[in-house]
Amino acid sequence: MNYIVKDENSIYYECGFSADNALFLKLGSESFFITDSRYTVEAQELVKGATVLINGDLYAEARTLIKKSKIKKISYDPKEWNLFAFEMLKKDLKINFKEVPNFSHKKRVLKSSEELLLLKKAVKLGAKAFDDLSVLIKKHGFKQDENMLTFMGKAMLSQKGKYELSFDPIMAVNENAAKPHALPTSKKLKNNDLLLVDAGLKYKRYCSDRTRTVSASNDFEFAYNQKFKKKKIQKAYDLVLKAHDNAINKARSGMKAKKIDAFTRDIIEKGGMAEYYVHSTGHGVGLDIHEMPYISAKSEMQVEDGMVYTIEPGIYIPGEFGIRIEDMVAMENGRAVVL
């Protein structure tokens, strides 16, 4: 198969190295990694299974190779390319460019045993960071605003720069937690406030993703069992936890993703809070924080052993509070195993 890849993580998956200015080109049995002279040393040391070519004009180099190969068709993912880059690539080429949306994500949907080990390590490191963060918040987090709490979260997750973050952490207090992707504000954390934390880190480029919602007392932990003073919050929390557990316990390989989504949605609907569940149940995780499979009400994809995804039901009542509980699971021996 002939194809060209531009996204950094997609390139890394192909040859074990990537850069912010590079292309990976597969022409029959030959593979090429094209980059500029800034990355010569690293590319020659780290690229596996591909010929390294150095050229400041990546697209000219790619066009030359494609012309020499005399191929008639090449596949690409249109989501990886902006209009300018794609026009530069196809300039003077009289071949069929075949659009294959999510080309690399489809290749990466089933994780190898090596990838599963890296993902498990990322998740364990992320969980340890949550434990460290709870200690830090109990000592220094009360009376601090969400901006400072976010700074604390970044410090704990990165271990002073040792690890990259999967995404900017979400640290949301009370009504700000009703925004699924809340941005930090000047709102300060007080004793017994609701605190939602959504965060993850990367281990050897593979992402972790976890969310906990807690009653931030002086002895809180990022655990499943939480006690809130307000009955409405407690009811919503218990529903979300029940939905989370139901999906993990009932998910089976061979099911369509939309059925797993229904395992969370049905619980929250029966609890009378369906209108406040505003997103899908989960998403795949790997080199990218959002990959296939997508666990949504519309997804016809069949979930299989080797897939890794999140289970993250939530309830969000604008102006009041938001709750989300999220774990990453891997399909192993036909069932969902929490990583």
Domain boundaries along the sequence of the chain: 3-108, 113-338
Query: Burial code of 44-74, b = ≥16 C-beta within 10 A, e = fewer?
Result: eeebeebebbbeeebbebbbebbeeeeeeeb
3-108: CATH, from 3.40.350.10, 2.60.40.1120, 2.30.30.240, 3.90.380.10: 3.40.350.10
Exposure on the CB side of residue 283, measured as CA atoms within 13 A: 14
Tens place of pLDDT per residue across the chain (339 aa): 999 999 999 999 999 999 999 999 999 999 999 999 999 999 999 999 999 999 999 999 999 999 999 999 999 999 999 999 999 999 989 999 999 999 999 999 999 999 999 999 999 999 999 999 999 999 999 999 999 999 999 999 998 789 999 999 999 999 999 999 999 999 999 999 999 999 999 999 999 999 999 999 999 999 999 999 999 999 999 999 999 999 999 999 999 999 999 999 999 999 999 999 999 999 999 999 999 999 999 999 999 999 999 999 999 999 999 999 999 999 999 999 999
Q: What is the mean pLDDT of the chain?
A: 97
- Radius of gyration, CA atoms only, the chain: 23
Fold of 113-338: Creatine Amidinohydrolase (3.90.230)
- The structure tokens listed for 28 are 């029959």
Domains 3-108 and 113-338 share a fold: no
Would you give the DSSP letter of residue 145? B
Beta strands 327-332 and 202-203: pairing type? unpaired
Q: What are phi and psi of 146, to 5 degrees?
A: -65, -30
Distance from CA of residue 123 to its chain's centroid?
A: 12
